[in-house]
Amino acid sequence: MRRAAFATVIKVRAMRTRGWIIPAAALVAVSVAAGSGAQPASPRAPRGEAPPEPVVIELFTAQGCAGCPEANTRVEALADDPGVIALTYAVDYWDYLGWEDTFARPEFAQRQRAYRRPLKLRAVGTPQVVIDGRRQVPGAQEAALKTAVEEEAARRVFPPEIEFRETGDRVGVGSGRAPAGGAEVVAVIYRPGLQTVEIESGDNRGQTVRQINVVRSVRRLGAWTGRPVLYALPDGLGADEAVAVLVQAQADRRILNGAVLPPR
């Protein structure tokens, strides 16, 4: 069913948006938090038309992990696909080997651990790639990674839509079927593009480690229960920072949709 769009909404590059109506009363009741943007994804869309939602690839890696540089390269090769949102989270639990990761934050390791139970894993480790919050692939397995991305791209139907206000300070999440246990809207702030780090000690001593779309922080914007909601985007973003907004089930952690607001 077609729905009316926001009066002032930016159609972000390569993402198809249809819009929705948010009643004025709902806008008054909503406490605005922080928000996201858009990128495309899914081979189902006709040629020349942007697909409705991307596949979200989350790489958990560490500069001091000997097996991680190869996985970093695998994810880097997929990051430019218009049907993918690729995000790199640096974790700190390999720092004891002699190199303190320059991008790691404790909350990134916490995000990785939150996937352990839903994915039925005994433990977490690096490199690990989580796709759409539904499945994990050891990062260095190129064929398995590509297959998983293709399968996830064909899986979702009618996710909640994500649109940005033209002012760039708010994002809307449309209506849809909420998962059991509800969902949350998360803003992942990252620096788009490639960064390289010269490793001076530890297992990767002497190597130049490449990392794509390195995450700087993760902020919860609020709950989503299936009704349209408008959230405020984070303040104080750097000129080189993008925001990926993810609508994610709280119980099983699957990602219902995602979108990227590029640097302004």
Three-state secondary structure call for residue 158: coil
Say how many domains are in the chain. Answer: 1
In single-letter form, the type of residue at position 81 comes to D
Q: Output the pLDDT for position 52.
A: 57
Round to whole Å and give the CA distance between 200 and 30: 49
Per-residue CA distances from 171 to 128, 188, 190, 221 (Å): 30, 13, 17, 10
Round to whole Å and give the CA distance between 110 and 243: 20
> Looking at the domain assignment, is residue 3 inside a domain?
no
> Looking at the domain assignment, is residue 142 inside a domain?
yes
Q: Output the pLDDT for position 79.
A: 95
Mean pLDDT, the chain, whole residue set: 83
Q: Is the dihedral of CA 240, 138, 124, 198 positive or negative?
A: negative
Assign residue 170 the CATH number of its domain. Answer: 3.40.30.10
Residue owning tokens 């943007």: 37
In single-letter form, the type of residue at position 13 comes to R
Return the minimum-mean-pLDDT range out of 39-53, 110-124, 181-195: 39-53
State mean pLDDT over 106-113: 97
Domain ranges, residue 214: 9-261
Answer with the residue of higher pLDDT: 9 or 102: 102
Query: Which residue(s) pair with 136 in the sheet?
Result: 130
Q: Is the dihedral of CA 230, 218, 37, 48 positive or negative?
A: negative
> Looking at the domain assignment, is residue 105 inside a domain?
yes
Q: Output the pLDDT for position 25.
A: 35
Q: Which of 185, 146, 157, 152 is nearest to 32 (CA)?
A: 185
Share of the chain above pLDDT 70, in %: 80
Q: Output the pLDDT for position 156.
A: 72
The answer to whether residue 48 scores a pLDDT higher than 80 is: no
- Residue 8's pLDDT band (boundaries 50, 70, 90)? very low
Q: Output the pLDDT for position 69.
A: 96
> Looking at the domain assignment, is residue 253 inside a domain?
yes
> Looking at the domain assignment, is residue 4 inside a domain?
no
> Looking at the domain assignment, is residue 89 inside a domain?
yes
Q: Output the pLDDT for position 122.
A: 92
pLDDT one-digit tens code per residue, 138-192: 877 889 999 999 999 988 778 999 999 888 899 999 999 999 999 999 999 999 9
Q: Output the pLDDT for position 41.
A: 36
Of the ranges 54-58, 79-83, 153-157, which is most confident? 54-58
Q: Output the pLDDT for position 138.
A: 80
pLDDT one-digit tens code per residue, 215-263: 999 999 999 999 999 999 999 889 999 999 999 999 999 999 999 999 9
